[in-house]
Amino acid sequence: SAHLLATREQISAHYAQYLDRVLTPKQRGLAAIYAWYAVTSIHEASSSRRSTEAV
């Protein structure tokens, strides 16, 4: 679990480390080079999903 006072950057870095452990290089694709890309994409998808669920 994340520390309650963790910054977004710390959480993103931790998630990128997790992806490096569980995904193969082929599965990671751009995330292997740009860790922030995967985290940003996931964040945007969940934000979009929440906004459509509210309607």
Within a domain: residue 38?
yes
The CB density around residue 23, as the number of other CB atoms within 10 Å, is: 14
Within a domain: residue 14?
yes
pLDDT of residue 37: 57
Within a domain: residue 1?
no
Side chain identity at residue 25, one-letter code? P
Within a domain: residue 45?
yes
Within a domain: residue 30?
yes
Indicate the pTM of the whole model. Answer: 0.43
pLDDT of residue 40: 54
- Work out how many domains the chain is built from and give that number: 1
pLDDT of residue 36: 57
pLDDT of residue 39: 56
pLDDT tens sequence for the chain (55 residues): 667 788 888 888 888 888 888 888 787 776 555 555 555 555 555 555 555 555 4
Within a domain: residue 2?
no
Let me know the angle formed at the C-alpha of 30 by 38 and 33, rounded to the nearest 5 degrees. 100
Closest among 53, 54, 30 to 42, alpha carbons compared: 30
Residues 28 and 36: their CA atoms lie apart, in Å, by 12
Domain of residue 42: give its range.
8-53
